[in-house]
Amino acid sequence: MTTFSLPPNHPQRYLLNNEVHARPCTSLYAPERTSHIALMMTAEQRVEEREALAVLCERYIQPPPAAGADHFVADLGPFRLRWEQHGEFSTYTFYVHGPFNDAFTETALALVPAEWLKSLPGQLIVGTHATIVQSDEQGADLDVISPLFSDNTLIGSDVSGGAAQVFTDFRIHSDGFGRILIYDRRLRSRQLGRLLQRMFEIEVYRMMALLTFPIARRLIPQLTDADQRLLCITTEMSQASSNEADLLDNLTMLAAEVEHSQSSTQFRLSASQAYFRLVGLRINELREERIRGIQTLAEFMDRRLEPAMNTCSAVERRQITLSKRIARASQLLRTRVEIALERQNQILLESMDRRAKLQLRLQETVEGLSVAAITYYAASLVGYIAKAGKEMGLPINPALVIGISIPVIALLVTVGVRYIRRAVEKAQTSNA
């Protein structure tokens, strides 16, 4: 074998390559009885689940699942077990090969220890018994198999190019389990395993998708009420006499309620659409052909499941639309409040400007009075000095000295006051 010198492998190369080969379908041969349960799990219950699996494997002297494994297959003697862990739930499938008398009375689950089943954590969301029988090309007699489904409306079809037939009624029977019947005409073992897996997945994904339907119905009146409240707020916004502060408070409260509702239900609403798409994909993979007189699985889902999913989708879109409308209304109201504040600020600035002009006039008046007062006192001092000089024998006329000093003093005082004012204004401008 030729070897090549290549760059080092990406650390996840083999992990990613092996991912597409993970969880291979079980090889099955008719006749076969199977029981399938799906349990909703929390993070804490997943730890308990691994402990329960270890207990079951120890009971039948088999190694438990590896640490961190999310699927496990084991032959425990009386039955075979397939365990898979998914994002929100875990599934257990029990297989028993060999002949039987009654298709849904002698179930595979009857061979599983009852006390161990009772100890499993989580909540049962799906429980289904499936029976596989060998058939010729003629296929099933509907009159014969109808009593197996309590004479409920049968849903079924030829699948895999006519190599098998599947029948169910999508009902929970008195034992708490649904029922699936497969007639194997000429399927290979892997094909039969894939067919059964698809039927179980259709049942599980259908129920997981429908988990959102009660939530959607509960949300409809809440969204209607929120829509009416938003209408009242926007109607009041259009009136000039409305109180913007009260409107903004009401709108903020409404936005918080809608955001909380959307945050708490968004995952479930999105998950329902993902599960619904998986149901459609699994049904398409069956390659159904009609059996005269009964509905196909695709027809049943179109008439019963799709309307519920359309309701969930409509509620999700309505939530998003309402959130956007509230955001637009909030923006408009904030713009309105900002404009009102700008008008108030403009009025305030105009008032401040008028007050500043008045203060300037008063200041100029005060400056004039100050010049007169200072001149008066300075001229008086000059007069006292002139009188003192005359008493000393100097040839001075005090009245004349005072008269001449007054305009000089007034001029000097005026220049000094203006200089001081300009210095103060310059200092204020520099600090600003």
Summarised one tens digit per residue, pLDDT across range 114-169 is 999 999 999 999 999 999 999 998 888 999 999 999 999 999 999 999 999 999 99
The pLDDT score that the predictor gives to residue 291 is 94
The pLDDT tens digits of the residues spanning 213-255 come to 999 999 999 999 999 999 998 888 888 777 877 888 888 899 9
pLDDT band with cut points at 50, 70 and 90 for residue 315: very high
Judge whether residue 367 has pLDDT over 80.
Answer: no
Read off the pLDDT of each residue in 185-197 and give the average, rounded to a whole number. Answer: 95
pLDDT band (50, 70, 90) for residue 171? very high
Sequence-ordered list of residues with C-beta below 8 angstroms from that of 346, at least 6 positions apart, any chain: none
Please state the rounded mean pLDDT for residues 319-348.
86
Q: Average pLDDT, stretch 326-352?
A: 84
**Which of residues 396 and 234 earns the better pLDDT score?**
234
Q: Which pLDDT does position 139 carry in this prediction?
A: 84
Residue 370 has pLDDT above 80, yes or no: no
* Model confidence pLDDT, tens digit, residues 4-53: 678 888 888 877 777 666 677 889 999 999 999 999 999 899 999 999 99
Average pLDDT for 97-121: 93
Kindly list the domain boundaries of the chain, sorted by start residue.
Answer: 26-190, 212-346, 358-431
Mean pLDDT, all residues of the chain: 89
Q: How confident is the model at residue 431 (pLDDT cuts 50, 70, 90)?
A: low
What is the model's pTM? 0.78
Burial 313-342 (b: 16+ CB within 10 A, else e): bebbebbeebbebbeebbeebeeeeeeeee
pLDDT at site 6: 82
Q: What is the pLDDT of residue 21?
A: 67
Confidence of residue 102 (pLDDT cuts 50, 70, 90): confident
